[in-house]
Structure 1
């Protein structure tokens, strides 16, 4: 098959790829739009992982199909700009990724990567925190004190859920910690979001990315709970992953794009607070000895 070659000293067949001229001329613009995977050379080779030429040819054809889909997505990005996704699409993107993660590791769940821990977020400065508290009526201040104590005593999944409840119940907290929360979600689940979006050839706007990161927090947590159950020999379905839709490309809904660097919390936290149940976490020690 044309396009196959071997590097000197290697038995593995390589495939040739080329970035189309119109895209190569706009490489800098694509990079500024957040596209990854554009190297410094317009033409390059990638390994098929095969020593047999026929097998390499089949692998190369599949790689070419994937490459064509990727370059088409880059062109669409140049033509139309980054996409926004509907609420259902964001859930589906995160759920698809979490289902794939669970399927990949459930055969040997003890070898799976540990759950990513969301960094602690705190109000930005004592002055802002004190000003918010001083504006509260006495009953609300006492309620906040009680809720904070419960949050600080909680661990793991329950602590995360209580954090979202706090932000929804006390909107002033959202203004203080929103940016840190967005940064924390990017640190813990940005790589998951990259992989999930890339699998569907998607390039999304900044607000949509932050919302996908948040959905990823919940669904990857569900996948980790599924792995915990499998470590104990329970291979039943994971409710959240079964109920979530699969991603279907469609015309995205009209989103309010607020690219102010902070997480858009109002509608988001209200939804999370209404749809997320808080239940005691049962911890079992299933480690091998």
Structure 2
């Protein structure tokens, strides 16, 4: 079984501090940052500053993207990649040529605890083709103007899909194979706990929470006290916007195993950044520090308390 999932580091909420990180002679995010969630990559949650979009002198659209690691492992990988041990998240500035479907990377800002800028790197200034399906491609689809098409009289409208928009995306081939293998295993061994966990995990990795949740339910029907599954299912509830159920899962996992610090961290995260219950989050964070006051996650929790505890 894989390790517990820890929720990603939240974005910056102090927009005044964020705006002050950039030199006035260079592109800056909007003073009133409006981050719009774009995508989840294998390593990051990616968002677009919708108020930062500006037309440049070359006719391109300048945009800021924010990249927040999805978990501690991804944060460490990004810290190594950017050569910044204190890495928490980073911002990237692009200029998009909508007509040519290319982009030029202008800047990368690496931010640490409290929104402190650790480094700034300039791009090479060369236009590159935007990769279809990438976070930048999604950003371009949001900011680039679209031609208004007039339907032809003989054109037939495409059939409407029965599936919600969030379910119409196709998982990568490797994940499709994992899902297929796991489904076959559950059919052969419907009482096998590990089979249902594998299926839930495959749906989790494919970002299909509506399918991951019932798979985890089947696993919990066999082993209701499994804290790993409770934690992972809680993360899936959160992804669907069911924050109360997410908290219930995380709290249950911690009640079963008081050494399960991931679930305690996740509880505070949802209270603070999803339910806007800073009072509850502060209680959870203080409790966390009584159990762990020296790890990288503990330092992150301490930074939350310092930032939001006033």
- Shorter-chain TM-score category? under 0.3
Relative to the length of structure 2, the TM-score reads 0.23
Per chain length, whose mean CA-contact separation is higher, i.e. which structure has more relative contact order (CA < 8 Å, sep 6+)? 1
Relative to the length of structure 1, the TM-score reads 0.24
Larger Rg: 1
Q: Which has the higher strand share?
A: 2
